[in-house]
């Protein structure tokens, strides 16, 4: 599993580490809205391309 690590030093000398996961979908609520936007299953419009076929 891929994980990126970036260690920085804060102004008062303490360290902080950012962890990143390039392979995992980031969900800040945007995952759902994106799916709603691109997938026809939710709008019941059967002819749109890019439909997930009910998988989402």
Judged by the rule CB under 8 A, the positions of this chain that interact with other proteins are: 1, 3, 5, 8, 10, 12, 14-21, 24-29
Q: Which CB sits closer to other proteins, 17 or 44?
A: 17
Q: Which CB sits closer to other proteins, 26 or 55?
A: 26
- Mark 3-33 as b/e (b = at least 16 C-beta within 10 Å): eeeeeeeeeeeeeeeeeeeeeeeeeeeeeee
DSSP helix, strand, coil percent of the chain (3-state; round to 5): 20, 20, 55
Q: Which CB sits closer to other proteins, 2 or 44?
A: 2
Report, in Å, the least distance between residue 2 CB and other proteins: 9
């Amino acid at each position: 599993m891929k994980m990126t690590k970036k260690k920085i030093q804060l102004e008062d000398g303490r360290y902080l580490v950012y962890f990143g996961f390039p392979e995992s979908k980031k969900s800040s609520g945007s995952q759902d809205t994106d799916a709603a936007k691109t997938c026809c299953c939710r709008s019941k419009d059967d002819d749109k391309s890019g439909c997930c076929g009910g998988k989402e």
